[in-house]
Chains A and B, each alone.
Chain A
Amino acid sequence: GENVGLHLPTLSVQEGDNSIINCAYSNSASDYFIWYKQESGKGPQFIIDIRSNMDKRQGQRVTVLLNKTVKHLSLQIAATQPGDSAVYFCASRLDDKIIFGKGTRLHILP
């Protein structure tokens, strides 16, 4: 099976700084990974994904890094803004099944 977990339940970051949210997975056969953002009162929103044949992928202000050796992925948010305040969680795909982590709440400090 697969377990997906985030390292910290909460993370506080100064506005304007970069945020790094980490996630670990347990099964090396997982082949696809996704980061979601969930704002209060809303459903999870797709941010960025990465396949296991890549180790980095960039989007607008976000970067996902995948380290298959240690089964770890991270989401980096550049120049964190108040609108980035949300719960972030990762998901991995194993045998066509998506497994979700429990989430890290990102607090933005003024």
Chain B
Amino acid sequence: DARVTQTPRHKVTEMGQEVTMRCQPILGHNTVFWYRQTMMQGLELLAYFRNRAPLDDSGMPKDRFSAEMPDATLATLKIQPSEPRDSAVYFCASDPQGTGELFFGEGSRLTVL
């Protein structure tokens, strides 16, 4: 049963610490997205990759967030330094053909104290 796998599922950290979230997309899917979800804003696009190349990271605060895809089986989202306003659920999703059919992971719930 192919699915998107995200780690960690939950992370509690203190302000100023570095946070790294990882995502294993479904094998063969060529487009990978990072979204952030909060009660107030809903799902917001942070960044996405096609064939491992970054296509759009305009939704990401550049001074503290970075997203990479070192190989086809791993995407990472890093926050350094983290702030309380970064507390949210971060979702990774993959898309088999870049047509908008998203398969979401279960999310990484981040709490920054």
Whether A and B are associated in the same complex: the answer reads: no
